[in-house]
């Protein structure tokens, strides 16, 4: 089983593994390097429903400070918003076919959220990848 990805705060406060100063600095550097110099504005696709558009505005407003999204994420973010709107619309279903459809939309939403970095685990993975690139400079000597 792979090791759990952790943020700098969790790294330094947990009593588990002894993190070296180099590992901590690499992780901090990775977190800082992920921040954009120029703020990006995302434009929603015209085909979004009113409910999905409201979710789009809420998500982009919340994610603005995290600097996770840019224009390449527009279609995937729209899919996430559409799935979220469908789930909200279908929340009181009773029929088996409707329940299966609701489950399908929930899977789509969860996959999009993970790919967009909306889950805590996804954000920690992004930071870890950046930190690992900094730490891997030792391996470059042997390439």
Compute the average pLDDT of residues 74-103: 93
Domain ranges of the chain: 8-140
C-alpha–C-alpha distance, residues 118 and 91, integer Å: 22
Each residue's pLDDT tens digit, 29-51: 776 665 555 556 788 999 999 99
56 and 44 Cβ atoms separated by less than 8 Å: yes
Residue carrying the six token digits 């943020």:
7
C-alpha–C-alpha distance, residues 9 and 58, integer Å: 27
C-alpha–C-alpha distance, residues 32 and 52, integer Å: 31
Nearest to 56 by CA among 89, 80, 32, 31: 80
Please, which pLDDT band fits residue 1 given cuts at 50, 70 and 90? very low
> Which residues lie closer than 8 Å to 126 by C-beta, 6 or more apart?
34, 68, 117
DSSP 38: S
pTM: 0.63
């Amino acid at each position: 089983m792979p090791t759990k990805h952790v943020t700098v705060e969790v790294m330094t406060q947990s009593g588990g593994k002894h993190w070296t100063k180099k590992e901590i600095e690499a992780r901090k550097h990775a977190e800082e390097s992920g921040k954009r110099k120029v703020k990006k504005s995302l434009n929603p696709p015209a085909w979004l429903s009113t409910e999905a558009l409201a979710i789009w505005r809420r998500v982009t407003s919340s994610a603005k400070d995290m600097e996770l999204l840019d224009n390449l994420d527009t279609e995937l973010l729209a899919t996430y918003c559409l799935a979220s709107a469908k789930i909200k619309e279908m929340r009181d279903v009773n029929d088996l076919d409707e329940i299966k459809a609701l489950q399908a939309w929930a899977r789509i939403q969860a996959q999009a959220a993970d790919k967009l970095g909306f889950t805590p685990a996804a954000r920690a993975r992004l930071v870890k990848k950046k930190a690992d690139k900094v730490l891997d400079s030792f391996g470059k000597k042997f390439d």
